Structure 1
Amino acid sequence: MMTTRMKALLLAASALSVTGTLAYAQDAQTQAELDALRARVEALESADSSPAEGDFRIGNTTLDVYGYVKADFFYDFDFDQGDTAFVNVIGEPSAATDGTFGATVRQSRIGLRTTTPSGIGDIGGQLELDLFGSGGTAELRIRHANITIGDQFLIGQYWTNFQPLDTYPTSVEFNGPVGIAFARVPQLRYTGQLGGNAQFAVSLEENVSGSNSDDPVLTASAEYNDGTYIARGAVLYGKANSGSVEVDQTGFTASASVRPWQGGLFQVNYVTGEALGPYLIGLGDAIVGGQANDVDGYTVEFRQDLSPKWNVGIAYGRENYDLPTSTGTLSFTELETIHVNAFYKATDNLTLSAEYIYGERNDAPTGRTFDGSRVQLAAQLNF
């Protein structure tokens, strides 16, 4: 694992490199600022004591570099679902296979968090990237990029406030079960306390890709979380467009989680709405034939710690749409998934995992049902 000092030197060296390139076009004042930055780097190099584990400082700003390297190996038995176990392709003739092996490191990610004290509270920053760029290649992609002011304000890209983040099912593969909201969007969010272990949040967000709307989305949520019990509800309102047709986009989620005994976890998520498909794992069409496409979905998960190093789980997900979404030669109104997995914590930083994934979808016009299975193994090193 990279040491704190090494992280500091690498980031500082990058800053010096960029600044040095620009320095040719700068005046004497800028050169003085460059010298001051070099002095800071030298101070970091010669410091007798190191900052807290995982952190280092530049001025009064604390920085933390985090992320993980993850290698995934998978085998599709019936239909080639790609790097992300995309259940929508099950049944498509172009994806049919007698067995396909694949491997990817694209889920690996790196992030930087900063914290700077100020008169209006701590100012935080987050920039997180992974390798799930377009075209199936390992290209950098922004996951999160935001600014926080105290515990109240978030400005920038983060998980949508509509998503039940604290009760999201655990999986080895990237997506997880269908039947749950999943989106990262630019937003302006305010979070307030309701007393005790409860809080609320309201946000103004950009609509997700697939809704094709230039109008903002409004969300509100309330959550109780005491570490043993979680209860959450959220609502969403926006617009969706298809050609000249515009419809209301509405959504509601309800989530609950309980730890019934030592090491046990049981949680459920329910979502319903109109024109809401682009927010869900299944990515159903928001509008079909000029009408809003209503959808209901849910997930159920049970997990159990077997020891300090082992935990296992099973999660079921389902989505039901009123109107069919075309996927090429076929279309669907129903999707189902089952994830059965096990995680082994080899060290504090290294986790090994295995998962069996079963997916099922229908072909709406004919009523036929198609299914596909996958086995996936992974190794993940956190830093």
Structure 2
Amino acid sequence: MSAGEIPLNGSAAAKRKGTTTFSARTSRLFFETATPSDIGDIKTKIEADFFTSEGSETYSNSARLRLRHAYGSVGNWLAGQTWSNFMDLSGMPETLEFDGPTGQAFIRQAQLRYTTALTDKQTLSVSVENPQSDARDNGGNVTAIDRGPDVTAKWQLNGDFGHFAVRGLYRPLRADDGNGNNQAQTNGWGMGVGGSLKLGANDTILYQVNAGEGIGRYIMDVYGSAAYDASTATLAKQQAIGGYVALQHLWSPRLRSTMSFNATHINNKSGYGDISGLNTDTRQVHSNLIWAVAPQMDVGVEYIWTARKVEGGAEGTSSRVQGAAIYRF
């Protein structure tokens, strides 16, 4: 469960404490190829998992296959569905929680990307990616219109210290009143900085900050990038910031831990109906211990504390212990 979905204090869901769940839905299947050609190796990857809400624990416990990655690359070019270029994969902390920390830049989508090496330690990548104007309005009838792609750019520096990355995002946001009339348009944007810092042979700090106006779905637990007003046909951009700082420690060659503090803050635009139930703050702590039983098997346990606050002032907190057995083959 993500930080933006935990029950609020006093709700029926919050009173249902002490629940237990077992699941294998995070299992993945993937297939990769590399084919030599006159223009370089043509690489492809298809990956899927079962992390959907479909199925029933009552009688079959089934879950459908879900597409994660499907892309090809050759030379400097990549086309297909994979992690957004706005993400910093090298700076993500290791968590047993499948959704990862709140506040991180986290999204997979179809894209066309170009990556080039500026020096032996610097890379620059730019992409056009699938748009989705995640807007909301008072009446609930707003319809998103996507006429142009989202655009991202990322510069990354790698070195003995770790790495440092700066990322940028531009989003054309457009919506109408649900009837194809009264169209409104604005431009969303986002910036992100982050990286890793090695403190020695056994310790690494990971950090990330993401912020913007209309950045919406590009930050974990931030939804509804803009608010639509049908009476004036305008879109008011939501302001949001999120990020984390984490410490990864190696206790021994086979034993490791990660502790992270993660948070988001969202400024929902007022004047577009009742916003009292919209998230304004999420906070989260992850602390785990993972044992590499064998080269292809990990066993771990993780404690997760989460807090959520909505615009109306209501709050909720959650404590959870999660275990995992991870097999690779």
Could you state the TM-score of these two structures normalised by the residue count of structure 2?
A: 0.85
For 1:150-299, what aligned pairs fall within 5 Å after superposition? 150=75, 152-208=76-132, 210=134, 212-214=144-146, 215-226=148-159, 228-243=161-176, 244-288=183-227, 290-299=235-244
Amino acid at match of 1:95: A
In the alignment, the residues of structure 2 paired with residue 380 and residue 327 of structure 1 have an alpha-carbon distance, to the nearest angstrom, of 44
1:280 deviation in Å?
Answer: 1.5
- Work out the CA distance in 1 between the residues paired with 2:301 and 2:269: 33
Establish whether residue 301 from structure 1 lines up as the match of residue 234 from structure 2. no
Q: Secondary structure at the match of 1:166?
A: helix
Distance change (3 Å), C-alpha of 1:218 and 1:105: same
Tell me what 1:339 maps to.
Answer: 286
1:209–1:353 CA distance, 2 compared to 1 (3 A): farther
Distance 2:160 2:327 in 1: 26
The correspondence of residues 144-155 of structure 1 with structure 2, limited to 5 A, is: 144-150=69-75, 152-155=76-79
Post-superposition offset of 1:328: 10
Q: Which residue of 1 aligns with 2:319?
A: 373
Q: CA deviation at 1:329?
A: 8.1
Gap change, CA 1:209 and 1:126, over 3 Å in 2: farther
Structure 2 residue ranges without an equivalent (≥5): 56-61, 136-143, 177-182, 229-234
Q: Secondary structure at the match of 1:100?
A: coil
Letter in 2 for 1:291: A
Relative distance call for 1:327 and 1:98 in structure 2 (3 A) is farther
For residues 6-41 of structure 1, what are the alpha-carbon distances to aligned partners after superposition, in whole Å with 9 as ceiling and x for unaligned? xxxxxxxxxxxxxxxxxxxxxxxxxxxxxxxxxxxx
How far apart, in 2, do the equivalents of 1:329 and 1:294 lie?
Answer: 16
Which residue number in structure 2 is paired with residue 48 of structure 1? Answer: none
Determine the C-alpha separation between the residues in 2 that align with 1:282 and 1:240.
19
Measure the CA separation in 2 of the matches of 1:186 and 1:124. Answer: 16
| 8 Å contact from structure 1 (residues 183, 208) kept in 2 | no
> Contact 2:211–2:241 (CA<8 Å) still a contact in 1?
yes
d(CA) in 1 for partners of 2:170, 2:149:
9
Q: Percent identity?
A: 29
Q: Which structure's CA Rg is the greater one? A: 1
Report deviation, 1:274.
Answer: 1.0
SS of corresponding position for 2:90: helix
Say how many residue pairs are matched: 298
Structure 2 residue matching 1:104: 3-state secondary structure: coil
Q: CA deviation at 1:85?
A: 4.2
Using the TM superposition, give the Cα deviation of residue 369 of structure 1 relative to its aligned residue in structure 2, in angstroms.
2.7
- Alignment check: 8 A CA contact 1:234 1:254 kept: yes
Per-residue deviation, 1:175 = 1.0
Q: How far apart, in 1, do the equivalents of 2:87 and 2:64 lie?
A: 26
Give 2:260's match in structure 1, choosing from 300, 307, 315. 315
1:213–1:184: structure 2 CA closer, same or farther, 3 Å change rule? Answer: farther
Identify the structure with the greater helix proportion.
1
| One-letter identity of the residue aligned with 2:64 | E
The answer as to whether partners of 1:324 and 1:331 remain within 8 angstroms in 2 is: no
Q: Give the Cα separation in 2 of the matches to 1:348 and 1:204.
A: 38
Partner of residue 113, structure 1: 32
**Cα distance in 1 between the residues matched to 2:296 and 2:269:** 44
